[in-house]
Amino acid sequence: MSKMARIRKEKKTPWQKFCAWVNGDAAEQMLLPAQPPKESKKKAAKAKREKTTSNHRKDMGLGQFDHIYRICAVLIGIAIVSVLMAVVLKLPLFGSPDNPSVNEVVERYVEKGLEETGAVNMVAGMILDYRAFDTFGESSVLFLAVTCVTMLLMRDRNNTDKKEDMLTAQEHVIEGYEEDIILTKISRLIIPCALVYGIYVVLNGHLSPGGGFSGGTIMGSALILFAVSYGMIRMSRFFTYATFRKVTSSALMVYAASKAYSFFTGANHLESHIPLGTPGAILSSGLILVLDICVGIVVACTMYGFYALFTKGEL
Amino acid sequence: MRLVLELILPILLIVCALAVTFSKRLLVSVVIYTSFSLIMSVIWVLLESPDLAITEAAVGAGVSGLLLIYTLKKIHALKGTSDE
Amino acid sequence: MENVRIVIGLVLIALGMFVYLTATFGLFRFHYVLNRMHAAALGDTLGILFVLLGLMVLVGWNFHTLRLGLIICFLWLASPVSSHLLAKAEFVTFKHIKTECEVVEK
């Protein structure tokens, strides 16, 4: 209360205002209504009831706009849906040969894809050879997302208080004692199978449906199952924040380096010394296997990182 | 057979999308959203892109539902997880 | 011989569908969580077993049969465990559990 009053009294420069806004003081001031003075018990109770029943919009002086807002929302929704429906009715049939999307790019992919990339699975050849730069952006986005979640939810000295520390300690104690015996026995059976299946999907990305993203998600789910059944303490014996950082960034760097090599040789009309191999074999199709493994590692670590940060706030 | 599936699945998709917006409780919305992803993955199989179907089933139906539920727990929007 | 196989497969799938129907009916008809879970778990195990057995008979003896068998193995391992965990969560969090069912104290 006193802090807020102090902020309101001071005449601030825009820079100070901006700092306050970044630190969250301005938002607090705007969203939360000023506390009602404690006059009598009845009035306080009534004010509290009003505060809980009415939403925050009313307190910000937007009460009369509520109806207009809803009507506008419905109208705009109907307009957007009708425009989309009209567009969908004009679309050509799915899969017909005279679509505008069937042009020389698609012909090139379908006709020369096998001999140029060496991948039997055309989709892997497309996303990891012709459009590998695009996929690099996607895995960087995943890395960025997990970085943002780390910034928001990572637990350290600045964003925890004593109560939360106590709760975490309690949870650790409970975790140490209680392991559900049915879950642990069954997950001991399932986790290796899931990991092997994920590795199979990653390694066979250029031969069968699958690849880095799906296989990485399966491996990440296996890691999450391990963390659920055995607890974070057992998990942190082989997967800590340092491991996560090293593994993810080195996988991204290997991706960037190998793609940079092929871009360099391609742009300078040099011959790439990576053999394409016979189509259909595991060790074939040049760099696609390496890129698939890198993407799979990044995705698996990201999935587990999301889970760990959301549940415990630590990796 | 295939035509029937291609008719039924988008209708189910629309029903799910409406139910997500109109359900009162957030947890119910999350559960319906995961079923939306599951139907979507079957549609990807029908459109002959199994790569996307695997990823959609794993990410949309599995991990994102998990993350949404944990978010609900974190902001104390679930019943029985309040601070008091 | 071919016709017999198809008929057996279809009958098995129809049996599985019947189990699923009863499971869904029970899921909506019962009121307490553990009862509903019992109904749902029935469909998860027995229903899926009949449907996948029917598919195995329909496909015939080749590599797909083995894959379907693996799916049965995985589902029979995974879904009872998840039901067990849900029931445990209900047991831990529901305060008035003694009014709904008998609780054996250890």
* Nearest CA-CA distance, residue B79 and chain A, Å: 17
Among A103, A102, A122, A97, smallest CA distance to A112 is for: A122
Tens digit of each residue's pLDDT (9 = 90 or more) over A205-226: 888 887 888 889 889 989 988 8
Cβ contacts of B62 on chain A, cutoff 8 Å: 217, 221
Cβ contacts of C74 on chain A, cutoff 8 Å: 190, 193
Pick from A218, A303, A310: CB nearest B74:
A310
B81 lies in some domain: no
How confident is the model at residue A165, as a pLDDT? Answer: 75
Rounded distance, CA C23 to CA C36, Å? 9
CB contact under 8 A, A189 and C88: no
How confident is the model at residue A177, as a pLDDT? Answer: 60
- Asked if C89 reaches chain A (Cβ–Cβ under 8 Å), the answer is no
Cβ contacts of C78 on chain A, cutoff 8 Å: 186, 190
A289 lies in some domain: yes
Rounded distance, CA B42 to CA A188, Å? 30
Q: How confident is the model at residue A49 (pLDDT cuts 50, 70, 90)?
A: low
Tens digit of each residue's pLDDT (9 = 90 or more) over A14-32: 777 776 666 655 444 444 4
CB contact under 8 A, A220 and B63: yes
3-state secondary structure chain C: CHHHHHHHHHHHHHHHHHHHHHHHHHHHHCCCHHHHHHHHHHHHHHHHHHHHHHHHHHHCCCHHHHHHHHHHHHHHHHHHHHHHHHHHHHHHHCCCHHHHCCCCCC
Q: Which residues of C47-58 are buried (b: 16+ CB within 10 A; e: fewer)?
A: bbbbbbbbbbbb
Tens digit of each residue's pLDDT (9 = 90 or more) over A251-296: 989 988 888 888 888 777 777 777 777 777 777 777 888 888 998 9
List chains touching A (3+ CB pairs under 8 A): B, C
Rounded distance, CA C65 to CA C62, Å? 6
CA-based radius of gyration for chain B: 15
Going by C-beta distance under 8 Å and a sequence separation of 6 or more, which residues neighbour residue A66?
Answer: A57, A58
Q: In this prediction, what percent of chain A has a pLDDT beyond 70?
A: 77
B10 lies in some domain: yes
CB pairs < 8 Å spanning A and B: 43
- Final residue of a domain: which of A29, A59, A89? A59
- Between the alpha carbon of residue A61 and those of residues A1, A54, A68, the distances in Å are 21, 12, 14
Single-letter amino acid, residue A154 = M
Q: How confident is the model at residue B79 (pLDDT cuts 50, 70, 90)?
A: low
Q: What is the largest CA-CA distance in chain A?
A: 86
**Domain hosting residue A29, numbered range:** 2-59
CB contact under 8 A, B49 and A213: no
Report the SS3 class of residue B11. helix
Is the ipTM of this structure higher than 0.90?
no
A33 lies in some domain: yes
Rounded distance, CA A246 to CA B61, Å? 29
Q: What is the DSSP letter of B84?
A: -
Report the SS3 class of residue B15. helix
Tens digit of each residue's pLDDT (9 = 90 or more) over B13-70: 999 998 988 888 888 889 999 999 999 999 999 888 888 888 888 888 888 888 888 8
Among A100, A101, A95, A122, smallest CA distance to A111 is for: A122
A89 lies in some domain: no
* Nearest CA-CA distance, residue A211 and chain B, Å: 8
* Nearest CA-CA distance, residue B50 and chain A, Å: 6
Higher pLDDT pick, A161 / B19 = B19
List chains touching C (3+ CB pairs under 8 A): A
CB pairs < 8 Å spanning A and C: 16
CA-based radius of gyration for chain A: 28
B84 lies in some domain: no
A92 lies in some domain: no
- Asked if A122 reaches chain B (Cβ–Cβ under 8 Å), the answer is no
* Nearest CA-CA distance, residue A71 and chain C, Å: 36
* Nearest CA-CA distance, residue C81 and chain A, Å: 6
The residue among B13, B52, B55, B82 with the most chain A CBs within 10 A of its CB, best to mutate, is B55
Structurally, chain A folds into a number of domains equal to 2
- Residue by residue, DSSP assigns chain A as -HHHHHHHHS---HHHHHHHHHHTHHHHHHHSPPPPP---HHHHHHHHHHHHHS-HHHHTT-TTHHHHHHHHHHHHHHHHHHHHHHHHHHSPPTT-TT-TT-SHHHHHHHHHHHHHH--SSHHHHIIIIITHHHHHHHHHHHHHHHHHHHHHH---GGG--HHHHHHHHHHHHHHHH---HHHHHHHHHHHHHHHHHHHHHHHTTTTSS--HHHHHHHHHHHHHHHHHHH-HHHHTTT--HHHHHHHHHHHHHHHHHHHHHHHHHHHTTPPP------TTSSS-STTHHHHHHHHHHHHHHHHHHHHHHHHTS--
Tens digit of each residue's pLDDT (9 = 90 or more) over C6-54: 899 999 999 999 999 999 888 888 888 888 888 888 888 899 999 999 9
The residue among A206, A303, A309, A314 with the most chain B CBs within 10 A of its CB, best to mutate, is A303
Which residue is closest to A187 within chain C, CA to CA?
Answer: C78
Q: Which residues of A70-101 are buried (b: 16+ CB within 10 A; e: fewer)?
A: eeeeeeeeeeeeeeeeeeeeeeeeeeeeeeee
Query: Is the same domain home to A297 and A197?
Result: yes
How confident is the model at residue A115, as a pLDDT? Answer: 76
Query: Is the same domain home to A134 and A50?
Result: no
Cβ contacts of C84 on chain A, cutoff 8 Å: 180, 182-183
**Domain hosting residue B14, numbered range:** 2-74
Q: What is the DSSP letter of B24?
A: S
How confident is the model at residue A1, as a pLDDT? Answer: 45
Structurally, chain B folds into a number of domains equal to 1
B34 lies in some domain: yes
How confident is the model at residue A164, as a pLDDT? Answer: 73
